[in-house]
Copies of this chain bind each other. A is one copy, B any other.
Amino acid sequence: MIREMTNDDFELFWPTFSKVIKEQETYAFEPDMNIEQAYSLWCETPLKTYVFVEDGIVLGSYYIKPNAMGPSSHICNCGYMVSVEARGKGVARKLCEHSQEIARVLGFEAMQFNSVVSTNKVAVQLWQKLGFDIIGTIPKAYKHGTLGYVDSYIMHKLLA
């Protein structure tokens, strides 16, 4: 069900991706990115990108990459996105659990999220349930589509 993402998968996923970035409620991505830029960012820049597929339908995706270089390259960073139709079905949890397994296989010792928008309570609570701590709060870090400036959290989990 969860496997590496192909170019064709990304085309199926693009309506979700485009909707999410245009809403400007969760991701610090350019809201008007085109599909080529999005593919590069989500599938080419990261180390690996996975997709959650069920009955030929893309329910969600995540990427994994080192969060920094050299002496900090043992910490990875992931981003998760779930299709609108698939919300509330545990897809994000499954993606995050899968990413932690893959992170360990790839030799990472910790996982860090650099920008969890504080008003995205569903995500914050899910990451906390999965063992992530809020290790920092960036004041007014995110210009939310409807709420204006809101804080972002930095979240972190040791994988050892």
Q: Is the CB of B139 within 8 A of A136?
A: no
- Is there a chain B Cβ closer than 8 Å to A70's Cβ? yes
Distance of A21 Cα from B70 Cα, bound (Å): 9
Give A14 Cβ to nearest chain B Cβ, in Å.
Answer: 17
Enumerate chain B residues within 8 angstroms of A123, measured Cβ to Cβ: none
Q: Is the CB of A70 within 8 A of B154?
A: no
Enumerate chain B residues within 8 angstroms of A28, measured Cβ to Cβ: 68-73
Kindly report which residue of chain B lies nearest to residue A110, judged by CB atoms.
B140
Enumerate chain B residues within 8 angstroms of A93, measured Cβ to Cβ: none
- Is there a chain B Cβ closer than 8 Å to A62's Cβ? no
A interface, how many residues as a size bin?
A: 35 or more
Enumerate chain B residues within 8 angstroms of A48, measured Cβ to Cβ: none
Cβ proximity bits A9-37 to B, threshold 8 Å, 1 near / 0 not:
00000000000010010011111000000
Interface residues of A in 28-77 (CB under 8 A from B): 28-31, 68-75
Give A154 Cβ to nearest chain B Cβ, in Å.
Answer: 5
Cβ proximity bits A143-159 to B, threshold 8 Å, 1 near / 0 not:
11100000010101010
Which residues of A line the B interface, CB within 8 A? 21, 24, 27-31, 68-75, 109-110, 112, 114-115, 135-145, 152, 154, 156, 158
